[in-house]
Structure 1
């Protein structure tokens, strides 16, 4: 697996990834709101601007977007927020990620998160917060495999879900 920045060579695969999530009724976490962008170029511009901190909505921070590639195929998206706001500290954390619905249960999420931790260190982060909804046992196991330690559970700011908050120290 390798992490790449989104680019036009991956356009068709990224948009197919979006479509797979829309069809499954799921949200592609770690995708910089890809689900809301029918136009790849608009999404790519947003991704590039958010890394530079340009035109960020209120309560948003600079972040870096990666695409996870295995054998030339896009199998995941992962995003690193460079710092946390009070809202991000409560619920979302530094890293959001997803794996293509057809590529789950193959160990890709763990590998993707491990590679992302290397990138987080490059950004100067000494520890990261990663969260998941409590019913998402697979995500909780992934976070734990890479050293995540559960700090607590909180009620989501956006739904009735309970969110588990894990810290990973380097």
Structure 2
């Protein structure tokens, strides 16, 4: 049974296996991995995880840091299957939630399940009544995931990295 967990150094090897499953590049949505982040060395990985967890929402008050959010890893039997993040500071260009599932774990409903969990957190912890979620225009699987969770297509925009679909999901009270 999968679970959402805070990033942890205990899963270093499992995280690297997940990252390697994606292949080179920074397209692991939901992990907050930047071009300068050293996740290969134990010390670099520990520093990166510490930064992710430090920015996690704990006290009921949003932090003014634009990177502030609730990152979670999707883990099952010690294996990192993907990541998801609820961003606490709204940015119209990236939306409230980003997620990604490693290629070997796709087509199991993990993204839909994790998104549903984070929608509950967006409502309960942040008090949001709706969230914006974006996906690449050609990512049919992600569009279906968003639509399964109540996403209503607002339209498409070009972000400079290519066209994206913009979905709003109403969070019923």
Fold shared, TM-score > 0.5 on shorter chain: yes
Deviation at 1:115, TM superposition (A): 1.2
What does residue 131 of structure 1 align with? 134
Name whichever structure is richer in helix by fraction.
1
Deviation at 1:73, TM superposition (A): 2.2
State the secondary structure of the residue aligned to 2:144: helix
Conserved? CA contact 1:29–1:98, under 8 Å: yes
TM-score (norm 2): 0.83
What does residue 149 of structure 1 align with? 152
Q: Quote the RMSD (CA, aligned, Å).
A: 1.9
Structure 1: 5+ residue stretches without partners: none
Conserved? CA contact 2:26–2:34, under 8 Å: no
Deviation at 1:34, TM superposition (A): 5.6
Moved more, 4-13 or 143-152: 4-13
TM-score (norm 1): 0.84
What does residue 102 of structure 2 align with? 100
Deviation at 1:81, TM superposition (A): 0.4
What does residue 51 of structure 1 align with? 56
State the secondary structure of the residue aligned to 2:165: strand
State the secondary structure of the residue aligned to 1:51: coil
Residue 86 of structure 2 is aligned to residue 80 of structure 1 = yes
Conserved? CA contact 2:136–2:165, under 8 Å: yes
What does residue 28 of structure 1 align with? 28
Deviation at 1:45, TM superposition (A): 1.9
What does residue 109 of structure 1 align with? 111
State the secondary structure of the residue aligned to 1:13: helix
Structure 2: 5+ residue stretches without partners: 58-62
